[in-house]
Amino acid sequence: MTGAVEMLLLLYAESPVHAGASDSIDVIDLPIQREATTGYPVIWGQSLKGALRQAAEDAAMVEGSAWSPELVRQVFGTAIGTETEEAAAGRLAVGDAQLVAMPVPTLRRTFAWATSEIALSRLARKYRTLGRQPLKVPRVAPDRGLATTKEWTQVKKGDAWVPVEAQVLGPCLIPLETSQELKAWAEQVAKDALGSADDPVTGHFYTKLTEDLLMVGEDVMPQLVRECTELSARVQLSDDKTVQNGPFYSEYLPAETILAASLTLRDPTSPALEALRKLLDGALLQVGGDETLGKGLVWTRLEVAR
């Protein structure tokens, strides 16, 4: 796009995230947003843009901030329900936050991150819009998986996923093979989403991600993303503490989930680009519902096209 700058926003879930869909599904009264074709969890662009706008509006209330009410309007457009000014779309286009990897329970090492060819191929396309040369996405059979580690000395220490006949991933039993291509992807995603192994806060998860990212086949991933989300049963109490409504069930993306969204800013010479850097690079934002329950906290990292 002429006169525009491309950006990549990585989201790393600090707490379970509920970006709500419109309709209930089976016993789930409040499901999360999902893609119709793949069933993968997603945060639609309109939901993410609303969260980013709220963060900018909160920042504009802080003295000395790079944000102002006028800059918020220029970047995100006219607020819904505003009748005193002409409607404007804003300079920032926000894409869907698509799944990169989701944690799934395992019998070894507590949990691992599951990803797929679809998820990594989409991330590769996003990297290309930034002018980066994406890594080669490994191929995997539909009913099998790949792991990042391969040294036999590691296996003796209990640090590797192979060679074992099959590993338990959520409700699935999956044979795993090793892949140096996946190892390279694990290191890249860890760097982009978490920064550095030397960081005193995120260093443990950086290292774990480089070792415990697993790619599963396209017959396996849909089942994992359906059955490894979190369900919470809730009730609404009356004033006398008796149950008034419920129970009803809410669905959440689990903590440690990684998502990525493409952002496009028109007129990058404006102060908006630097303001977005300060707002979104290394910040803790609230996305989705159940804010008062501590849900929806995500760490963000922003990369701008070279």
The answer to whether residues 67 and 114 belong to one domain is no
The answer to whether residues 115 and 174 belong to one domain is yes
The answer to whether residues 121 and 214 belong to one domain is yes
Q: Is residue 117 part of a domain?
A: yes
Give the lowest-confidence range in 1-15, 116-130, 233-247: 233-247
The answer to whether residues 72 and 168 belong to one domain is no
The confidence band for 152, taking pLDDT boundaries of 50, 70 and 90, is very low
Q: Is residue 264 part of a domain?
A: yes
The 3-class secondary structure across the chain, one letter per residue, is CCCEEEEEEEEEECCCECCECCCCECCECECECECCCCCCEEECHHHHHHHHHHHHHHHHCCCCCCCCHHHHHHHHCCCCCCCCCCCCCCCEEECCEEEEEEEEEECCCCEEEEECHHHHHHHHHHHHHCCCCCCCCCCCCCCCEEECCCCHHHHHCCCCCCCCCCEEECCEEECEEECHHHHHHHHHHHHHHHCCCCCCCCHHHHHHHHHHEEEECCCCHHHHHHHCCEEEEEEEECCCCCEEEEEEEEEEECCCCEEEEEEEEECCCCCHHHHHHHHHCCEEEECCCCHHHCCCEEEEEEEECC
CATH number of the domain where residue 71 is located: 2.40.30
pLDDT tens readout for residues 153-205: 454 554 568 878 899 999 999 999 999 999 999 999 999 999 999 988 899 99
Q: Which domain holds residue 292?
A: 1-19+45-95+255-306
* pLDDT recorded at residue 153: 46
Count of structural domains within the chain: 2
Q: Is residue 246 part of a domain?
A: no
The answer to whether residues 106 and 218 belong to one domain is yes
Greater pLDDT, 2 or 60 = 60
The answer to whether residues 80 and 106 belong to one domain is no
Report whether pLDDT(105) > 50.
yes
**% pLDDT > 90, the chain:** 68
| Domain final residue pick, 177, 211, 228 | 228
The confidence band for 25, taking pLDDT boundaries of 50, 70 and 90, is low
The answer to whether residues 126 and 141 belong to one domain is yes
